[in-house]
Amino acid sequence: GILILATSASAPHKTASSGLNVGDVLPKMKSLDVGKHTLLSEDKTPKMTLIHFWAAYDAESRAENIQWSQYFEATPHEGIVYRGIALDPDRDVYVRTLALDQVAEQTQQCLDTEERSRQLADERKECMRTMGLSEHFHTYLINERGVICAVDPSPQEIAKYL
């Protein structure tokens, strides 16, 4: 037989094997301002937002949250705002994780369900389903209109958007 090897080196953007892709619009969520203009731009200048979904129970996404937080602390960007969205169902775990990881809480939000309504628990499940987070957590770079410009980008990849 013939073995064919393919590479994605020529592809400008990765696509999520499960989840949203470049060109998709990030779905809005009621309990968070993800996908709304208040998150995307506090002022009138167009900004991009890097949204990283993570959870304390997922070592890979948690490590990426630390990396992105440190990256944006060390290299502030005028054109890109960072937001970590924790999908931990327990807010105490989220708070302790931020403290252990030394991540600034002002760049983070938690979609916890503890001591909240059944509606929020359902919204968390719907968020994980519609944003493709059930199998793997993702990072989405979105523009001011909520359109995804990159999926799981590296710091080098987001630099071209500055």
Measured distance CA(80)–CA(159) in Å, rounded:
9
3 state DSSP class of 28:
coil
| pLDDT computed for residue 46 by the predictor | 55
Q: Which two tokens stand for residue 9?
A: 């080196």
Q: What is the pLDDT of residue 47?
A: 85
Which amino acid is located at 116 in the chain?
A: R
pLDDT classification of 158: cutoffs 50, 70, 90: confident
The pLDDT tens digits of the residues spanning 72-110 come to 999 877 889 999 999 888 889 999 999 999 999 999 988
**Rounded alpha-carbon distances, angstroms, from residue 116 to 30, 87, 111, 125, 126:** 14, 14, 10, 14, 16
Q: Which helix (H) or strand (E) holds 98?
A: helix 91-101
**Contact assessment for residue 132 and residue 18, using Cβ atoms and an 8 Å cutoff:** yes
The pTM is what? 0.78
Model pLDDT, residue 41: 42
Q: Please write the tens of the pLDDT for every residue from 15-61.
A: 445 678 999 998 876 545 544 434 444 454 658 999 999 999 999 99
Q: How many CB atoms lie within 10 A of CB 27?
A: 14
User: Is residue 46 within 8 Å of residue 162, measured between CB atoms?
Assistant: no
- Other CB atoms within a 10 A radius of the CB of residue 65 amount to 28
Beta bridge partners of 80: 48
- pLDDT number for residue 76: 77
Q: How confident is the model at residue 119 (pLDDT cuts 50, 70, 90)?
A: low
